[in-house]
Structure 1
Amino acid sequence: MPQPKRWRVEQTYGILILHRRLVRDYEHRPSSSASRVYWAMTHVMTRRLTGANAPTWRTAQAVAA
């Protein structure tokens, strides 16, 4: 049953890629990079717990069209 685990890992990577600083390795120290991952996942968890929608870059007119 490795497929569901793989899907979960790939989903997590996809969520992390939405955070701009994690797309490339901007940080010089591994501890700094790890802290960015913790902050990104904390943001994801708080958004899920509060039920808040993520702000979108699309305008209402573009979505309606």
Structure 2
Amino acid sequence: AHGARLGIDVERVPRHAGKGFHVQPRRWVVERTFGWLMQHRRLVRDYETLPQRTRAMIHWAMANTMSRYLTGESTPTWRNETT
């Protein structure tokens, strides 16, 4: 009811009757994204004082993640390669 008053679509996911772990539908997408964001040191803690800066850092981190995925890089390129 609170979400509806704010204009937010809320979907309640019912619990499973059985015991044990059950994957919730589509929750893994959010958890995976948070995992990707936590690979960036500056986003691990809330250092920013303005919400606009935090949003900018999240955009930067996701652009970095997507560019690494598209180019096939598994590690950042700033690391020294030992031969």
**Fold shared, TM-score > 0.5 on shorter chain:** yes
Aligned mate of 1:21, from 20, 24, 42: 42
- Larger radius of gyration, structure 1 or 2? 2
Q: Deviations over 1:32-53 (max 9, x none)?
A: 0000000000000000100112
Q: TM-score, normalised by structure 1?
A: 0.76
- State the 4+ residue runs in structure 1 displaced beyond 3 angstroms: none
How many angstroms does 1:9 deviate by? 0.5
Aligned length: 56
- Identity %, equivalent residues: 51
CA RMSD of aligned residues (A): 1.9
Letter in 2 for 1:32: R
Q: Which has the higher contact order (CA 8 A, sep 6+)?
A: 1
Task: Identify the residue that residue 44 of structure 1 maps to in structure 2.
Answer: 65
For structure 1, the residue ranges without an aligned partner over 5 or more in a row are 58-65
